[in-house]
Amino acid sequence: MTFRVGIIGAGMIGQEHAQRLDQRVSGTQVAGIADMNRDRASHVAAVTSGAGVYASGHDLIAAPDIDAVVVTTWGPAHEEYVLAAIATGKPVFCEKPLATTSAACLRIVDAEVAAGRRLVQVGFMRRSDPGYQAMKQDLDDGMIGEPLLAHCAHRNPSVPDSYTSDMPINDTAVHEFDTMRWLLDEDIAAISVLLPRRSRRASSHLDDPQVLLLETASGVLIDVEVNVNCDYGYDIRCELVGETGTLTLANPERVDIRRTGLDSVRVPADWRARFGRAYDIELQEWANSLAAGQAGGASSWDGYEATAICEAGLTALASRERVTVEARQRPSLYGQPLASPAARA
């Protein structure tokens, strides 16, 4: 069976996902596009094999010829479309963040729990990245003993002027928040934010770089450098330090260039280049879950936890104090609470 997918939000990643779901992923075709900017919707529809343009996201969700929904609008509009999709019983893939406040995420969680089955997958694509998956496999296989520390860097070459001081946390490091919970199989208990010397490349309304210090429930310490004006490329790093060794995220570039006086690999230009394979795998897994009738991947609960960490991080940024992450109890629809280190051993 081929699932007819409708996409709401025809911006940068909406166009990426439309092409993938229409031409690369098996089991899906893009049947509809909606965007508050109709010209953008028409432009993206034109790169598919025949998607129609809908007058609004709500018309698209209600349409009988749309089986499943992808939400790629800006974050503040995610909640209304995800809730509308759940209300019609249609599966929905929502880009990160699930919603911009933890209260909004909980409204989605409550609606999904009331529906009685998982319908939502959140676009935390690093869970599908072969490099991160290999790290997780080695960690779970006990290759480095119990994890003690993690060192992460999330560097973007530049950001638009609309990018403000909250966004290193709630737009950018939100990926690390989810990735660390998933890799370590543990919730984040607390967060602190440190501001080093400011880059002269940052706008006057942006504190950049920022260093975030996360503490997991068992005491693993994770430092995250968020540096969104690094100039030289899109550089994502992760090293896990365990009791008996370390695991380092592999650079997806396979070719090592050696020339006179030089031994180097290329740095990806942006998130499209760095995580292209991860988006392919993530959306194929979503398509497979449509056939299985049960969503997989990052859940609404994971989306809620990530946004709760963002909120604590913004409080820590404003207060410069360590802030504990408060979260509600996990409903049984989302499985067992994350394992403690003792349980993993």
Instruction: Name the residues that contact ligand ISE, by CB under 6 A.
Output: 156, 171-172, 175, 271
* 156 or 307: CB nearest ligand ISE: 156
* 53 or 180: CB nearest ligand ISE: 180
* 72 or 299: CB nearest ligand NAD: 72
* 281 or 338: CB nearest ligand ISE: 281
240-299-316-214 Cα dihedral, nearest 10 degrees: -10
Residue facing ligand ISE at closest CB distance = 172
Q: Interface with ligand NAD by CB under 6 A: which residues?
A: 8-14, 35-37, 40, 57, 72-75, 77, 95-96, 123, 125, 171, 271, 275
For residue 21, what is the DSSP state? I
What is the smallest separation between the CB atom of 250 and ligand NAD, expressed in angstroms?
19
| Cβ 325 vs Cβ 308: under 8 Å | yes
* 32 or 297: CB nearest ligand ISE: 297
Q: From the list ligand ISE, ligand NAD, none, which binds 297 (C-beta under 5 to 8 Å, kind-based)?
A: none
Q: From the list ligand NAD, ligand ISE, none, which binds 131 (C-beta under 5 to 8 Å, kind-based)?
A: none
Pairing between strand 52-53 and 28-34? parallel
What is the smallest separation between the CB atom of 344 and ligand ISE, expressed in angstroms?
28
CA dist 242 and 100 (Å) reads: 33
* 54 or 93: CB nearest ligand ISE: 93
What is the smallest separation between the CB atom of 72 and ligand ISE, expressed in angstroms?
11
What is the smallest separation between the CB atom of 182 and ligand NAD, expressed in angstroms?
14
In sequence order, the 6+-apart residues with CB closer than 8 A to the CB of 82 are 71, 92, 94, 98, 99, 108, 120
| Cβ 302 vs Cβ 181: under 8 Å | yes
Q: From the list ligand ISE, ligand NAD, none, which binds 99 (C-beta under 5 to 8 Å, kind-based)?
A: none
What is the smallest separation between the CB atom of 45 and ligand ISE, expressed in angstroms?
23
* 32 or 157: CB nearest ligand ISE: 157
Q: From the list ligand NAD, ligand ISE, none, which binds 172 (C-beta under 5 to 8 Å, kind-based)?
A: ligand ISE
What is the smallest separation between the CB atom of 275 and ligand ISE, expressed in angstroms?
7
Report in angstroms the alpha-carbon separations of 197 from 171, 176, 184, 191, 315: 21, 22, 31, 20, 20
Q: From the list ligand NAD, ligand ISE, none, which binds 265 (C-beta under 5 to 8 Å, kind-based)?
A: none
Dump the DSSP string for 110-169: HHHHHHTS--EEEE-GGGG-HHHHHHHHHHHTTTT-SEEEEEEEEE-S---TT--TTHII
What is the smallest separation between the CB atom of 216 and ligand ISE, expressed in angstroms?
22
